[in-house]
Amino acid sequence: GDSVTQTEGLVTLTKGLPVMLNCTYQTTYSPFLFWYVQHLNEAPKLLLKSSTDNKRTEHQGFYATLHKSSSSFHLQKSSVQLSDSALYFCALSDRSGGYKVVFGSGTRLLVSP
């Protein structure tokens, strides 16, 4: 079945530094990839999404590029802020899974002053 792997459980950074959160996936069909962000005690919210190979997609300073050759969709930001501290989920959807969105285990980003 489909799966999404996020290797880092926790990433800690100082404000102003760049960040990359890893996401790789497994599927036999052409997928749609998503990043959702969940702040403490809040609902997950869509951050960005893509299905286009090798095209960078951006939102709120975050960006990601879907690379089908390596089955990756890493999330990046050039300069993190304190408000970026949250849980980040990579997710995918494809027709083999009935279009339901399958989430990775999540990466918690903690940004310190």
Partner 1 sequence: DPKIIQKPKYLVAVTGSEKILICEQYLGHNAMYWYRQSAKKPLEFMFSYSYQKLMDNQTASSRFQPQSSKKNHLDLQITALKPDDSATYFCASSQDRGLNSDYTFGSGTRLLVI
Q: Residue 71, interface with partner 1 (CB under 8 A)?
A: no
Q: Give the pairing type, strands 3-5 and 24-26.
A: antiparallel
Q: Residue 89, interface with partner 1 (CB under 8 A)?
A: yes
Q: Residue 3, interface with partner 1 (CB under 8 A)?
A: no
- The angle at the Cα of 109, spanning 104 to 113, to the nearest 5 degrees, equals 175
Q: Give the pairing type, strands 101-103 and 56-59.
A: unpaired
Q: Residue 98, interface with partner 1 (CB under 8 A)?
A: yes
x-marked contacts with partner 1 along 15-54 as a string, rule CB under 8 A: -----------------x---x-----xxxxx--x-x---
